[in-house]
Amino acid sequence: MYDFAGEQAAATGGGGAPPRALLLLELPRWGVEYGASRLLDLARAVAPGEADLGQGRPVLVLPGFSAHDRYTGRLRGHLAQRGWDVHGWELGSNHGLTDKIVEGLPRRFAEIAERYDEPVSVVGWSFGGLLARWLAHEHPDRVRQVVCLGSPWRAEGERTRATALFERSRTKHGIAGNARAIVDRLREPVPVPLTAVWSRSDGIVPWHGCTVDEQQDPPAENVEVVSSHVGLVANPLVLAVVVDRLRQDPAAWTPFAWRALVPGAAAGAGAGAGAGVAS
pLDDT per residue as tens digits for the range 1-25:
676 655 444 444 335 788 889 999 9
pLDDT in tens, 94-151: 999 999 999 999 999 999 999 998 999 999 999 999 999 999 999 999 999 999 999 9
pLDDT (tens digit per residue) in 27-63: 999 999 999 999 998 888 788 788 899 999 999 999 9
Query: Burial of 10 by CB count in 10 Å (0-12 exposed, 13-18 middle, 19+ buried)?
Result: exposed
Question: What pLDDT was estimated at residue 84?
Answer: 98
Give the Å distances, CA to CA, from 191 to 16, 131, 138, 153, 225.
Answer: 29, 14, 10, 15, 24
Amino acid sitting at position 143 = V
Note whether 122 and 88 are within 8 A (CB): no
Instruction: Give kind and range of the element (H or E) at residue 150.
Output: none
Backbone angles phi, psi at 154, to 5 degrees: -75, 150
Residues 6+ apart with CB under 8 A from 174: 98, 99
How would DSSP label each residue in 183-219?
HHHHTSPPSS-EEEEE-TT-SSS-GGGT----EETTE
- Euclidean distance between CA atoms 186 and 62, whole angstroms: 15
Backbone angles phi, psi at 4, to 5 degrees: -60, -40
Q: What is the pTM of this model?
A: 0.88
Q: Which DSSP state fits 47?
A: P
Other C-beta atoms within 10 Å of 81: how many? 17
Q: What domains are defined for the chain?
A: 8-273 (3.40.50.1820)
pLDDT in tens, 248-261: 999 999 999 999 88
Instruction: Tell me the one-letter amino acid at 198.
Output: W
Percent of the chain scored above 90 by pLDDT?
73
